[in-house]
Structure 1
Amino acid sequence: MFAPRSAGALGQLRVWAGGACRARRARSSGSAGSEPEAPAEWALRVSPFGRLRARLPCRLAVRPLDPLAYPDGDRVLVAASAAGASGLRVAYDEALREVAVLSDSLDPRGSVEVAAPLHFDLNIKSSGSGCVKVQNFECDNCKIETEQGTSILQSLKSQKLHVQTKGGKVICLGTIYGNIDIHASDKSTVTIDKLQGSSVSVSTEDGLLKAKYLYTDSSFLSSAAGDITLGSVHGDITLHSKMGNITVDSSSGCLTASTQQGAVDVYVSQLGKVDLKAHKGSIVVKVASSLQAHLQLSGKEVDVNSEVHVQEMAEARKENGVIITGLMNQASTREKWIKADAPQGTEEVRKETKEASKSCSRPQFQHGCVCVEGRGVPPHHLALLGYQLGVLQFNSILTLSTQREHQIPQFLEWAKKKGECWNQPQSLLVISSLAYLRISKADELNGNILRDEQRKS
């Protein structure tokens, strides 16, 4: 074990490096009694292939050793800037090829920096609010555990990566390569730029799970109550949420998505097999214009946009809804299909480009399920419905329809009593015959709400 030692009133600090002793002076600021504690540093001679084990209550940053300064890759450099740094234990076990950096008494506001050989394995655990950052690293095994601190992974390659947090955030920057397992408890969130590997598993409890890009052979992403929001995904993807919504901007490959109480919104660009289920919510499927697939859609209400070309369409009514089957763009192979099931909600299928899919505002269905009457309901109406749903806190099935005000005499009579007089035609959004949203024709396209009036039944 190597530790820094103080050498008298001059504040001299000895740093041990592979048996050789170096001396450096701490900054002096007046009398010896008021002299601040200098940063503690260690330089250990190690095998280029080993492991770092860290147990700390403060911030920890790990980066690769500079290959120009240390071409043999046989050093581990440790620097601690924290009150109580002299109590930090740093040791190298030659038999285990393991560097240990241990302390439970460092000031949580302090920090420790480690530069290790590029291919060192990592086993890191932080306590309290201690954060961990690993960047530009390659290793066979990487294990990171935090309590309330944030884990930041940047441009990391690992054969096996495991990240777990009890209450902190997990942030993945750049591209993370490898077989990846990330678990975030409580309200912890996981945000990802890009994951690439054979097997990926990511889960949250009450927090958001968001990823821009997934390139994997097999992925499983889940959340108990948080939303799952994905950008472009490739491969065999399985998504599950109990109470949250699921959104996929672009899917290429096989996709299975299910939610108990949330909504599903998916754009399918290239097809393998797509299986979607929303037990109490709604499903919106957007497809590329040239996509060929077999369709099987079932729900309380099913809406297939007129721009989607479906041949051999068949409709069967059942006790609690409808089942629609057909072929998109004369699909010939049964290996490509889209199945969607919303037992208590509705389904909508429409043709859409990827750019339009990304720019379209999506409804946030938070309570109950939604029935949409009519075909080709504009996206801004769906957005308005999501807004009103949050305002009125309904837990029942809602009905959305668009009418001109002169078609609803009851409303005109009520408006007359209120002294309302509109000179321009208006569009009216009716929700469960309990509330009216007034939307001017000029603002109808962008979905701006001018005013909402509630009427008691």
Structure 2
Amino acid sequence: MFRSAAAQVGDGVLLRCSSPAARIGDGVLLRCSSPAARIGDGVLLRCSSPAARTGDGVLLRCSSPAARTGDGVLLRCSSPAARIGDGVLLRCSSRIRTLAPRFASASAPSRQPLKRWALEVSPFSTIRAHLGCGISVRPLDPHRFPHADRAFVAVLGSRGVGLDQVHVQYKEDIKELLITAGELNGSASIDLAAPIKSNLFISTFGDAAVQVKEMECDVCEVRTDGGDCFLHSVKSHRVEVSSNGGHVTAAGSIHGNVNVSTRGDGTVDVKKLQGANVTVSTERGLLKVRAVYAESSCISSCSGSVQLGHVHGNAAVRTVTGDAVVDGSNGFLEISSTGGSIDVYVGEGASAKLHTREGAVCVRVPPSLRAGLQLCGVSVDVSPEVAVHGVESDASEGRVTVTGYVNGEPPEQRWVNARADGGAVTVRTQSWLESLKLGS
């Protein structure tokens, strides 16, 4: 290409032309003899003509018309095409040569829009989808569609996916958009751009996955069979996600009364939940929530571990054999387990009731905590750093019971009650800064 050698460098492509070439980020640097224009994520072309904007912010400088194709950029010149990296096509004066990145096959089918629907809808529509393929939902661009009165549906994939199985219908009288599809061939999926206030009722079967981004509606209801579900910055009065074995992942904040559950080996990994009532459960999979802001929350797993970051408000955690870890609480926290261990940080002004039949209990408290202590286990170990006053101790029936006050008599109803029927109970101090786990 360009009458010179070409070599693959890292995740990008290095093209050798008639001058030195260097790598920039994850992109490509072509050194020619003119001013530079930036293209996409780090591809720099030096050409010699006015710039034309095309696609998603791509700036092409060349001496001929430019057009966007697929996920790449097409520069129209006067020769066969050579493929560069992830879909940049350059037409130059050389034979066709493929430089495929290590994470994609040059012969892999591209996911092009195979069929599109453009519909005029109400800004407050209801969307119902029953699909055997994946679906991605995002809001309309408010700048392009300020009245929020359009919906765009596209089938993405390679040829031969069975388009006759995809049906799209909008019912004006009830303001409902209905999308149905069977199990499509290959990796075909549905892409939907809809008014941001649209209520969502989405169900998939098989391994079909669901992705919902930045919607703000009254109801967001997602049900999958074995498919995964990904939410990003969703605001709704009611958010319900359930799966029979898929993983549930959420980035950003999920606002609303939230109910998330998955069965089998499905896991839950959520950044932040915020609402009046929050319910999250797994069967055997890990349950991880980094922050919960709720008046009341209920978190449970059968044999999966429960890992909670900071819990604001009252919370109840239940496990059977899984362990439970809570890195911060400022309300009333109740944890019960049959065979799992419990590890909790009880913050200022918080109370806790912790009970496991077969596991152990570890309670971490700030040095300035004022609360009553009631501890019971096969053994009880209170760190000397914890200033306990009015200690009363009793040993009977193979268990040790210790009661007292930390830093003086606390306000009424502020207690830490920890009980391990078949294990040890330990209490130690931990600073608020340590509880943030800034290094993790």
Q: TM-score range by the shorter chain?
A: 0.7 to 0.9
> What's the counterpart of residue 268 of structure 1?
346
CA root-mean-square deviation: 1.9
- Choose between structure 1 and 2: higher helix proportion: 1
Distance apart, 1:292 and its partner CA: 0.1
Does residue 63 of the first structure (1) align with residue 138 of the second (2)? yes
Counterparts of 1:167 and 1:197, CA distance in 2: 25
Paired residue type of 1:227? S
> What's the counterpart of residue 176 of structure 1?
254
Counterparts of 1:318 and 1:109, CA distance in 2: 64
Distance apart, 1:358 and its partner CA: 6.0
- Is the contact made by 2:113 and 2:155 (CA closer than 8 Å) also made in structure 1? no
- Is the contact made by 2:244 and 2:263 (CA closer than 8 Å) also made in structure 1? yes
Q: Assess, with a 3 A threshold, how the Cα gap between structure 1 residues 360 and 142 changes in structure 2: closer, same or farther.
A: closer
> What's the counterpart of residue 206 of structure 1?
284
1:78 aligned residue (148, 153, 163): 153
3-state SS of the aligned residue for 2:138?
A: strand
Task: Flag structure 2 segments of 5+ consecutive residues without an equivalent.
Answer: 1-68, 71-110
> What's the counterpart of residue 386 of structure 2?
308
3-state SS of the aligned residue for 1:323?
A: strand
Q: Assess, with a 3 A threshold, how the Cα gap between structure 1 residues 108 and 275 changes in structure 2: closer, same or farther.
A: farther
Counterparts of 1:158 and 1:37, CA distance in 2: 32
Task: Flag structure 1 segments of 5+ consecutive residues without an equivalent.
Answer: 1-25, 28-35, 362-457
Distance apart, 1:108 and its partner CA: 5.2
Distance apart, 1:355 and its partner CA: 4.0
1:94 aligned residue (172, 187, 207): 172
Does residue 50 of the first structure (1) align with residue 121 of the second (2)? no
Percent sequence identity over aligned pairs: 37
Which structure 1 residue ranges, 4+ long, deviate > 6 Å from structure 2? none
TM-superposition CA deviations, 1:182-204 (whole Å, max 9, x none): 11000100001000000000000
- Is the contact made by 2:348 and 2:370 (CA closer than 8 Å) also made in structure 1? no
2:337 aligned residue (249, 259, 263): 259
> What's the counterpart of residue 57 of structure 2?
none
> What's the counterpart of residue 222 of structure 1?
300
Does residue 103 of the first structure (1) align with residue 143 of the second (2)? no
Counterparts of 1:70 and 1:297, CA distance in 2: 61
TM-superposition CA deviations, 1:55-92 (whole Å, max 9, x none): 11112000001111111111110010241124310001
Q: Assess, with a 3 A threshold, how the Cα gap between structure 1 residues 118 and 357 changes in structure 2: closer, same or farther.
A: closer
3-state SS of the aligned residue for 1:269?
A: coil
Counterparts of 1:360 and 1:314, CA distance in 2: 37
Counterparts of 1:153 and 1:229, CA distance in 2: 19
3-state SS of the aligned residue for 1:291?
A: coil
Counterparts of 2:112 and 2:259, CA distance in 1: 40
- Structure 2 matches for 1:414-453, cutoff 5 A? none
Counterparts of 2:194 and 2:239, CA distance in 1: 18
How many aligned residue pairs are there?
328
- Is the contact made by 2:119 and 2:150 (CA closer than 8 Å) also made in structure 1? yes
> What's the counterpart of residue 396 of structure 1?
none
- Is the contact made by 1:58 and 1:108 (CA closer than 8 Å) also made in structure 2? no
Counterparts of 2:250 and 2:321, CA distance in 1: 25
Counterparts of 1:162 and 1:57, CA distance in 2: 20
3-state SS of the aligned residue for 1:96?
A: coil
